[in-house]
Structure 1
Amino acid sequence: MKRKLFTATIAGTIALSMAGIGPSAASAVGNGPGYGGNETINTSILTTYEEMVSFLKKQEDKQKHMELEVFGQSVKGRDLYLVKYLTNPNNPTILFLTQQHGNEALNTEGALEFIKHLGTGKMKGVLDGVNILIVPRLNPDGAAGDVNFPLDDYVASGSYNLTRYNANEVDLNRDHTARLQPETKAFHDNVLGVYDVDYMIDLHHQGSNSEREGELVSGSILYPTTPNVEADVLLKSKQLGAVIFNAIDSKGWGHLGKYNGGSAETISRNGIAVEYGIATLLFEMRGMADHNYEPYVLGQKSNGYLIKQTVTTMDAAVRAIADRSIENADISFWDTLAFQNGRLSE
């Protein structure tokens, strides 16, 4: 029977992540099991759109500083939500963007858990120094498999499949210049064009078989690489990356590489940095929840640790911005951080 509450959907996964901090679980992310046709990839464990909306509304009712805004609609008419913690207009603002690609689902699970954290004593005092904006799912149609093209060859089972594209079979992360899709148009018109954002982390997933220095990575990061980015924006982007790298790579379960990313400004990491002067960081977590290419899909035994990686990323970023320690972050690690390489499938 399908769960009715968000808590049943994600809390069990988070509990797994919290239980897996010790040495015995250190390989669960970087060396956790790939799919390989050896298990069932079950979409029913993920938070549905309806469950997400219910959770967000309940959190808004509970949390003093949280405000929920609908900033647009998807192709299929689903509301697009912005979670806002705007306590002081003079504070720097960070924006977190998840699930531009509908099959990259665990970052949304982590973002929802982080929203819950913001309403607890775990984050006491942090909101005094930073404003936070969160788009927890930019592509709800792709995440629901409610699209205008077939998904018959996708791996996941359960009640629905998840796809990279929106309902019109368009990659939203290649539409940040033309903005022909309602999701990207609303994001630019009603979020980036309205709020004064200083930092943005764009949370994605990549394939499951990338490695750095011979070890599978838990994810990869990259700053804007377009030559048109201003020097100050690039510096702040690299400082944001330093904060995240230090928070994740020091963990027994974390291992990050440098992402091999292009310079096209149709991509959010590049285009948003240039157009709005926002320091941007791409974070690509390991493995996808569904795909028609099996090596991209990760076995679900790693879900808990990847969700924890998202929560840790968001927590570290807001704390460093709130106490201004980000301004002194050492970016020299970027000079030696190795690009990840694809490991041949076994």
Structure 2
Amino acid sequence: MKKSFAAATGALLLASVSLTATTAHAVGEGPGYGGNETINTSILRTYDEVANYLKVQDAKQPQIELEVIGQSVKGRDLFLAKYVQNEDNPTILFLTQQHGNEQLTTEGALEFIKHLGSGKTKNVLDSVNVLIVPMLNADGAMGDVDFSLDDYIASGDRHLTRFNANGVDLNRDHVTKIEPETRALHENVLSKYNVDYMIDLHHQGANSERDGKLVSGSILYPTTPNVDPAVLEGSKKLGAIVFDAVDSTGWGHLGKYSGGSAETISRNGIAVEYGISTLLFEMRGMSDHYNEGAVLGQKSNGYLIKQTITTLDATVAAISDGSIADADTSFWDTLATQTARPD
């Protein structure tokens, strides 16, 4: 990536964060598509730009170590950004873009990586290890797949799809682990590192609400009956940190996600197989889709990127200083499950 383009992209994202966070009307009310908004994927980083950005940060930051954990169906390298100073420290894993059309969490994770190298997070890395897998579904993110995307909505030459190149939903592959992307995650991250917490960052449709207000996102702990109670409690504490950090901002508004108990889903399967406390975070709206109700206009990008950064900052800080142990999970008892807003 040329430095001038990288600088322009970063400035655009940061300006978008600052501007849109104040114009989202406090409850995730950034504009839906509705046939009127622009869905422009050219402002999102391509796979090559993500890879180059990570390599630049790896060269700049003494604490980061960049690993290639495997390749996609189409042969793209899959990356792990690793901050491990003491293997005895608790470890959190952030996973983005299992679904290729859910990219704003990746944009936020990349900004967070820059934060870790800038000193903005102070000394948190002394007491916590951070692992970040951005853009797991690299082929889907580039629309480089072996099926038609003609009905997808985004303008321009690049479409983003939920599925990998083989047409498989990676977040339904955590038992059989057939796809190379899923195997890379399990064999070279989950089996290799002693992970204590994981946040799986996604996007959902644009029209879910809680208490009559559109949500900016929704969260959920493992719901399989096979999860260890201590792991489940850790997941609920992780959710408490996220809820308190985001829902108190004035522009964030979170609901409880309505999700199933299948262990093919990472939130459930990884919690059971590895004893990792997991949290699903579904941000509002997708970067591309064939369903108009699933996508958001690009004016919403800023506050959703900011919501990702807020989430990562808050959880890393709470694990680092130990305050996650005292997180109050009673909010889960009253947090309303989101519902679909009528058309």
TM over 0.5: yes
Secondary structure at the residue paired with 2:120? helix
How big is the shift at 1:4? 6.4
User: For 1:145-181, what per-residue CA distance to the aligned partner results, in whole angstroms no more than 9, with x for missing partners?
Assistant: 0000000000001221000000000000000000110
Secondary structure at the residue paired with 1:123? coil
Shift in CA distance, 289/3, structure 1 to aligned 2, threshold 3 Å: farther
Provide the C-alpha distance between the structure 1 equivalents of 2:71 and 2:133, rounded to a whole number of angstroms: 13
The residue number in structure 1 matching 2:180 is 182
The residue number in structure 1 matching 2:256 is 258
Maintained 8 Å contact 1:229/1:273: yes
Provide the C-alpha distance between the structure 1 equivalents of 2:19 and 2:151, rounded to a whole number of angstroms: 35
Unaligned runs of 5+ in 2: none
Provide the C-alpha distance between the structure 1 equivalents of 2:258 and 2:291, rounded to a whole number of angstroms: 20
Provide the C-alpha distance between the structure 1 equivalents of 2:275 and 2:298, rounded to a whole number of angstroms: 37
1:37 equivalent among 35, 38, 50: 35
Moved more, 35-44 or 79-88: 35-44
Matched, 1:223 2:221: yes
The residue number in structure 1 matching 2:60 is 62
Maintained 8 Å contact 1:6/1:52: no
TM, length-normalised to structure 2: 0.97
The residue number in structure 1 matching 2:69 is 71
The residue number in structure 1 matching 2:47 is 49
Provide the C-alpha distance between the structure 2 equivalents of 1:8 and 1:97, rounded to a whole number of angstroms: 26
How big is the shift at 1:14? 2.0
Maintained 8 Å contact 2:153/2:290: yes
Maintained 8 Å contact 1:226/1:265: yes
Matches within 5 A, 1:77-226: 77-226=75-224
User: For 1:2-21, what per-residue CA distance to the aligned partner results, in whole angstroms no more than 9, with x for missing partners?
Assistant: 99633322431222212455
Maintained 8 Å contact 1:4/1:51: no
Q: What is the RMSD computed on CA atoms of the aligned residues?
A: 1.3
- Could you tell me which amino acid in structure 2 is paired with residue 13 of structure 1? L
How big is the shift at 1:344? 1.7
Maintained 8 Å contact 2:92/2:316: yes
User: For 1:34-74, what per-residue CA distance to the aligned partner results, in whole angstroms no more than 9, with x for missing partners?
Assistant: 00110221110000011111110110111010000000000
Provide the C-alpha distance between the structure 2 equivalents of 1:161 and 1:240, rounded to a whole number of angstroms: 33
Maintained 8 Å contact 1:98/1:203: yes
TM, length-normalised to structure 1: 0.97
The residue number in structure 1 matching 2:330 is 332
Secondary structure at the residue paired with 1:148? coil
Matched, 1:308 2:306: yes
Provide the C-alpha distance between the structure 1 equivalents of 2:26 and 2:55, rounded to a whole number of angstroms: 33
Maintained 8 Å contact 2:27/2:213: no
The residue number in structure 2 matching 1:292 is 290
Maintained 8 Å contact 1:10/1:46: no
Provide the C-alpha distance between the structure 1 equivalents of 2:162 and 2:69, rounded to a whole number of angstroms: 21
The residue number in structure 2 matching 1:234 is 232
Matched, 1:247 2:245: yes
Identity %: 70
Secondary structure at the residue paired with 1:246? helix
**Ranges of 4+ aligned residues in structure 1 off by more than 6 Å:** none
How big is the shift at 1:123? 1.1
Provide the C-alpha distance between the structure 1 equivalents of 2:66 and 2:96, rounded to a whole number of angstroms: 16
Unaligned runs of 5+ in 1: none
- Could you tell me which amino acid in structure 2 is paired with residue 70 of structure 1? V
Provide the C-alpha distance between the structure 2 equivalents of 1:16 and 1:28, rounded to a whole number of angstroms: 16
Secondary structure at the residue paired with 1:119? helix
Provide the C-alpha distance between the structure 2 equivalents of 1:275 and 1:65, rounded to a whole number of angstroms: 30
User: For 1:193-227, what per-residue CA distance to the aligned partner results, in whole angstroms no more than 9, with x for missing partners?
Assistant: 10000000000000000000100000000000000
Shift in CA distance, 129/144, structure 1 to aligned 2, threshold 3 Å: same
Shift in CA distance, 222/158, structure 1 to aligned 2, threshold 3 Å: same
Maintained 8 Å contact 1:139/1:183: yes
- Could you tell me which amino acid in structure 2 is paired with residue 68 of structure 1? L
Maintained 8 Å contact 2:204/2:282: yes
2:273 equivalent among 275, 282, 289: 275
Provide the C-alpha distance between the structure 1 equivalents of 2:79 and 2:246, rounded to a whole number of angstroms: 28
